[in-house]
Amino acid sequence: MLDIKFVRANPEAVKENIKKKFQDEKLPMVDEVIAMDEELRAAKTRGDELRANRNSVSKQIGQLMKAGKKDEAEEAKKKVTEMADELEALEKKEEELAAEINQRMMVIPQMIDPSVPIGKDDSENVEIEKFGEPVVPEWEIPYHIDIMESLAGVDLDSARRTSGNGFYYLKGDVARLHSSILSYARDFMLNKGFEYFIPPFMIHGDVVKGVMSFKEMENMMYKIEGEDLYLIGTSEHSMVGRFIGQMLDKDQLPQALTSYSPCFRKEVGAHGIEERGVYRIHQFEKQEMVVICEPEDSPMWFDKLWNNTVEFFRSMDIPVRTLECCSGDLADLKVKSLDVEAWSPRQQKYFEVGSCSNLGDAQARRLGIRVRDKENGNYFAHTLNNTVVAPPRMLIAFLENHYQPDGTVTIPEVLWPYMGGQKVLTPKK
């Protein structure tokens, strides 16, 4: 959400930013917001004049009554009543205008970083760098569900009966591997100096509106019927929401946090839910990074966050690459975003396993997360988030890259302590 003062002073820059995001249908909103803002400020000015005049005339009434000037006092009372009526109408107008302005400001996109490549959709995202050699083995790599089933590690049929498509039972060694990766991710981030959290898995509507755009909300969030509660789509939602309405001292920043949670998503859109697979599903678990920081520090933290994910995957011998999201692929609240993609030897291509985002002051402005500065005045903090790891999607990359010709799956050394010393997963008869 942009500052109305910025929109007022830079309307053409805001319009150009909208064009870069290929959202031309939003262009009229800029002029509408500026016109309504001018009308709102005029109404507030008139309201202030009326309040001052009303107070002045009200004081005169008592003096006139004491002086025996009843007729003049009655005229003054009429003026006070007229001013009160006009003030009531103005206050109602102010409330309506403020709501209309806010409605439009909530969907005018955040100003993107100058370094963001211009493109219409994710097909125009730009590869930045590869880490590790993307190997295609001489032996055939089965589909990830076939590997899991050979290890007696998944039951989709039972999940379909209990919950429908987009759900799963993990079991045995695969379930343990899943938990081991999350435990390793927790410790990996603790060693990076991040504070560990397990947050609420449900949040109020005002938090949802503060952390994401309306389009994302509609396509992602599950609402609890009859209550002002939503299931989180990622722990970023409740972690950033933790600071709603807070005034932070400068010495409290940065807040470098890592959080575990289950995640729930409708996955509405063109991709749909897989009938047989765990790549796009309604429920999964994730270890997340969230940072609240000074505005000037957010570019530095952005680079730190995505590098953490790259290092995490490379520590398990999984080749990855980074991909810069183009303007048309950025959600409205994002200033800049970079995806981390893992190598799939079966498909011989990369696929997304994490996304790092700098949201500037967009979430902080919506949620009222400010930094106290006695010398220069208070200002909004910057927020960032990034995926450490999100199994079971990450399991696809893990199983494919460690699959052996005899059907076994090797376990990298960093996971041995979490797997009770087990170094290989063996197919079940």
List the chain domain ranges. 4-105, 122-425
3-state SS record for 164-220? CCCCCEECHHHHHHHHHHHHHHHHHHHCCCCEEECCCCEECHHHHHHHCCHHHHHHH
Joined together, the tokens standing for residue 367 give 């949620």
What local confidence, expressed as pLDDT, does residue 141 receive? 96
pLDDT, one tens digit per residue, over 78-133 is 888 888 888 889 999 999 999 999 999 999 999 999 999 999 999 999 999 999 99
Distance CA 412, CA 414 (A): 6
What local confidence, expressed as pLDDT, does residue 246 receive? 96
DSSP string, 120-177: SSGGG-EEEEEES-----SSPPPPHHHHHHHTT-EEHHHHHHHT-TT--EE-HHHHHH
Quick check: 187 and 308 in contact, CB under 8 A?
Answer: no
Q: Give which of 261, 383, 325 is closest to 113, Cα–Cα.
A: 325
For residues 242-259, one letter each, b for 16 or more C-beta atoms within 10 angstroms of the residue's C-beta and e for the rest, the string is bbbeeebeeeebbbbbbb
Position 17 pLDDT exceeds 70: yes
CATH number for the segment(s) 4-105? 1.10.287.40
Region of 360 please: left (phi>0), alpha (psi -120 to 50) or beta: left
Distance CA 31, CA 52 (A): 32
Position 270 pLDDT exceeds 60: no
**What's the average model confidence in pLDDT over 160-185?**
95
pLDDT, one tens digit per residue, over 368-378 is 999 999 888 99
What local confidence, expressed as pLDDT, does residue 268 receive? 62
Strand partners, 375: none
Residue 53 — pLDDT band, cuts 50, 70, 90? confident
Mean pLDDT over the full length of the chain: 93
Q: Do 122-425 and 4-105 have the same topology in CATH?
A: no
Residue 59 — pLDDT band, cuts 50, 70, 90? confident
What local confidence, expressed as pLDDT, does residue 52 receive? 85
**What's the average model confidence in pLDDT over 334-346?**
97
Distance CA 371, CA 382 (A): 10
Distance CA 189, CA 195 (A): 8
Whole-model pTM: value is: 0.89
What local confidence, expressed as pLDDT, does residue 73 receive? 79
* Fold assignment, 122-425: BirA Bifunctional Protein; domain 2 (3.30.930)
* 76 vs 90, more confident: 90
Quick check: 367 and 378 in contact, CB under 8 A?
Answer: no
What local confidence, expressed as pLDDT, does residue 271 receive? 62
Q: Give which of 257, 271, 262 is closest to 222, Cα–Cα.
A: 262
pLDDT, one tens digit per residue, over 285-316 is 999 999 999 999 999 999 999 999 999 999 99
